[in-house]
Structure formats: C-alpha cells, structure tokens
Structure 1
C-alpha cells in the first residue's frame, strides 16, 4: 500500500483568540499557519509531495515542509533559546538543501521531523514573554521573541501561498 501524508482537517481554531491578548493571538496565528501547511500536504503520496511543478522554481511541498522544520528550529531553538542544535538539512556547501535534496528524501521521516520541530519550538517559548530579548547569533543584534513570532508568521504566510499553487498544480485542490 502506498503511503499518503496524513490528512489534516482545515479548522478555524485561530478565531478562538480573536479577542485574546497579544500572545494568544500570535500563538493562534502561528499554529493556524502550521496547520495550513499540513492541510496542503494532506492525502498526497511521497511522489506527489516531491513534485516541482511550478517551473522554473525548485519548490515542492516536501521542500516547503522541510524548510519550515529548518526555520522553526533555527528561529526558536538556535537563535531565541540559544540551543546550538545546528541545521537539519542545510550544510555549509548547500544552504538550500531542504529544497534541493527532496528526490531521495524519506517523506515519512521528514513529516515526523517537522512535527518534532514544531513541538520543540513550542517548548522553547513556553512561558516566555514576547518582550524577552536575545542576541541574534548571526546578525549580532538584539531581537525580541515578538520579532521571532512576526518572522515566523510572515514566513509561513509566504510559503503557504507557494503551497496553494503547488497543490493546485498537483491535483487541482484549492482553498486556503
């Protein structure tokens, strides 16, 4: 039997925080975007997830999932929490490996990695204030956790737009 990416229901859970404080709203929107990416991948086979079907771009849904796992890890764990856990897919020789190296990738493992990184990111910020400041190890400037949330929400929004186009090209499924 062919493996398919687990279905992820489309929800409006983020509206529950529509009158919440800033942190509740930020968490709700970030989680919403995480769910949208999973929803866009839902029901597709490994081969479909690896398709680069919007030429000349090398983007694929699997590449986006791997990229967002990398971004979750980098911003929340490496930068904010200072955990120095390195990269998942990127190397000094190829900082785009999460996109470039999908043909031989293990889709099941990459899905598990993404879910793990989201969980670890949530743990890294649990109970931490959006006002908390850290020194970004790459840019050598102070940033707040609020900034990281803003970066992550825009990163997901941008790539979920890419996912919309990819999914429509793969099987005609549309929606946001």
Structure 2
C-alpha cells in the first residue's frame, strides 16, 4: 500500500456552553477534525476511490471542496478579500454549478496541505471578522446575511460533508465511528 496521507487525528473537545463565538469556533474545529478523522490512515489511491457506484464523490474531492468552503466563506464573504484558491481542475455540472474534477492529478498530500492552510487562514480571519456578529455581509448565494448566518452555514457545510465522508469511509474499508 502506498504512503498514508492523513496521519493520526485527535479531535478537540467541543465547547458546549459559554460565549457564543467560542462555542462556534470550537465546534467548527471539531467538525474540521472529524472530517480529517474520516480520511485518517488512507493512501492517495484510497482517498480517490469512488466506492459508491451511483456517486462521483470521493474523500479527496470533499477535501478539495472544503478548502474552497473555508476560503470562500471566510475570506471572500466575511473578510471581503480575494482568496487564493489552489488551481484545481474543475468542470461545470448539468445545473451550472462548478465542481472539482476527480481526474485532477494534484497529489492527495498536496490537497491535504492546502486544506490545512485554508483552515488556518480561516482561523486567522475568524479572529478579525467576528467582532460584530450582527454585521451584514453581501452574500450572492442567500442574499445579504449577518456574520452569524455565515458561521452557522460553514458548520452546516461541514455537517453535511462529514456525513458523506462517513459513508465513503465505511464503503472503502468498513471503518465506522462518530
């Protein structure tokens, strides 16, 4: 088997009470770690597997998508800056959306390192843009929203995709766990 990409992941404890922003930040880090936990111990080839016959989803494709989620919502929407997206190969879906092309040759290790950078960038932006959670930000997807909505939406994205990752991982090697 080829080299393992994501080594041992220790998920942080979540804050379940206290200041709202601390609860949100800890839950976001928990979901980030849970996603990586679903990828733990797998090789590049395993992260590229499409174990569900009726779906093109892969764990590596989800990792590419989540780096985009991090940069789009934190940098572009909350900070109002132009994010630097890694130039992954993409295609336009039948409904006009853009998605990551699974034939992209970028190594899983490079995607993983890019994902970790995106998460760290988001943590740095989080500290700068959450001083006024009622601040309205332009949002082309949902219309103008406040900072709270954006933070909740990022957690929603993670919750959805961690569920996908859970099913993919189980189909790859039988590993389960919450």
TM-score normalised per structure 2: 0.86
Once structures 1 and 2 are overlaid, which stretch shifts more, 1-10 or 124-133? 1-10
CA-based RMSD? 2.2
Partner of 2:4: 4
1:120 aligned onto 2:121:
yes
In structure 2, what is the Cα distance between the partners aligned to 1:10 and 1:161? Answer: 18
Q: Which runs of 5+ in 2 are unaligned?
A: none
Q: Which runs of 5+ in 1 are unaligned?
A: none
- Residue 154 of structure 1 and its aligned partner are, at CA, apart by 0.9
Partner of 1:27: 25
**1:31-72 per-position Cα deviation (integer Å, ceiling 9, x unaligned):** 110000110101100000000111211000000111000111
In structure 2, what is the Cα distance between the partners aligned to 1:23 and 1:109? Answer: 31
The aligned length equals: 172
CA contact (8 A) 1:69 1:118 kept: yes
Three-state SS of the structure 1 residue aligned to 2:169 is helix
CA contact (8 A) 1:78 1:86 kept: no
In structure 2, what is the Cα distance between the partners aligned to 1:139 and 1:169? Answer: 32
In structure 2, what is the Cα distance between the partners aligned to 1:143 and 1:151? Answer: 11
Q: Which of 155, 158, 164 is equivalent to 2:157?
A: 155
Structure 1 runs (4+) deviating above 4 angstroms are: 90-95
Indicate the structure with greater helix content.
1
In structure 1, what is the Cα distance between the partners aligned to 2:112 and 2:17? Answer: 32
